[in-house]
Homo-oligomer: A and B are copies of this chain.
Amino acid sequence: MRDVAIIGVGMNKQWGELWDKSLRDLFVEAALSAIDNAGVDHIDSMYVGCMSSGLFCGQEHLGALMADYLGQCPIPATRVESACASGGAAVRAGLMEVACGMSDIVLVGGVEKMTDVGGDEATFALAMAADQEWEAFNGVTFPGLYAMMAVAHMHRYGTTVKQLASVAVKNHANGAKNPRSQFPMKITVDTVLSSVMVADPLHILDCSPITDGAAALILCPADQARKLSKAQPVKIIGSGQASDSIAFHSRSDLTTIPSTAKAAAAAYKMAGKKPEEIQVCEVHDCFTIAEIMVTEALGLVEKGKGGPAVEAGETAIGGRTPVNPSGGLKAKGHPVGATGVAQLVEVAEQLRGESGDRQVQGARVGLTQNMGGTGASSIVHILEVM
């Protein structure tokens, strides 16, 4: 298995409600940005992470479509889908294609165009990450599912609504320093608690937004990185993925995300790293409770202590383990297929020292955690600057 490095990163200039950009426009802009960042003159293969372009845009077959509009035919091009973990799954597919020697230079992109449909349709499309027959059909939505997890966590560990709100406050503070953010405004705990209730105890400011956006990486064998690119290479030293029952009724405990714990264990083992060696990370804060449960599952904080940790600033930039310096899904935005790729864009830039006002000083090892549904899929990557 060859070691694999990231030699290029790219995103749209800004994520948000981008009504003047189509699905293909979004992807091509991010992909060209990554190709330009790497400085490569060709790519051998590409992957597109996307959850539900069929329902959002009436378009499947995104691999060929994007290769075409990127001017890259006849290279192999494939779409990968794992709900909101589609981006992370695309990264893992590209990693294995380089690792096995099938290709040298692989573009991994993620994209979602979510605002061409109304809110009801978007809620319907996103619910397809849950169990259609047992959850979605009966009217369950994602804010409702995560609200149940929040209530369980509050009941068992005493987690408070102020601690949930503290996640949003931290991530918007970080996102305010990120020019790509959809919602780059600082907020307070009071702003969150006085915002409209979506699914008790989650207010609208506990929820990540509906977003249009794309992100892309260029991967190559680590031993060719310095020859192929002038950019500072970042090695992917660990990759782990795990699944869990798609519906809540098959789980024994709603306060944990076992797939994240298992994906992390595999990634830590492959990387030869421990949680305390992670200096910066991007995690899947689709709802504020998710970030709390994920930091626990990753071993960054003790089980049940995710709430107090964020309240105490341990996961802020400058804290013990900065989490979501980009602003996370909460402030940067959450175009579901793009999120898992954008997490690696942020961590790679952090490890290169290119993150400006939101730079985590001296970070050399970082982690990304991307999640589908209520944790039925989790994908964790660990990165180290070369």
Contact = CB atoms under 8 A, between A and B. Distances in A.
Interface residues of A, number: 67
A234 interface: no
A342 B337 CA distance: 28
A65 to B, nearest CB: 5
A241 interface: yes
Interface stretch (A9-17, A131-139, A290-298, A321-329): A131-139
A193 B60 CA distance: 33
Interface stretch (A28-36, A73-81, A312-320): A73-81
Number of copies: 2
A110 interface: no
Interface in A125-150: 125, 128-133, 136-137
A78 B91 CA distance: 12
Interface string A234-266: 000001011111110010000000110010000
Nearest to A55: B54
A68 B76 CA distance: 30
Contact of A243 (B1, B76, B243): B76
A64 B241 contact: no
Contacts of A61: 51, 81-83, 128-130, 246, 372-373, 376-377
A39 B1 CA distance: 27
Given A51-B60, A64-B82, A101-B1, A243 B77 contact: yes
B89 A96 contact: no
- Residue of A55, A96, A136 most packed against chain B (CB within 10 A): A96
A58 interface: yes
Given A60-B125, A64-B373, 5 more contacts: A58-B132, A61-B83, A67-B243, A79-B81, A93-B93
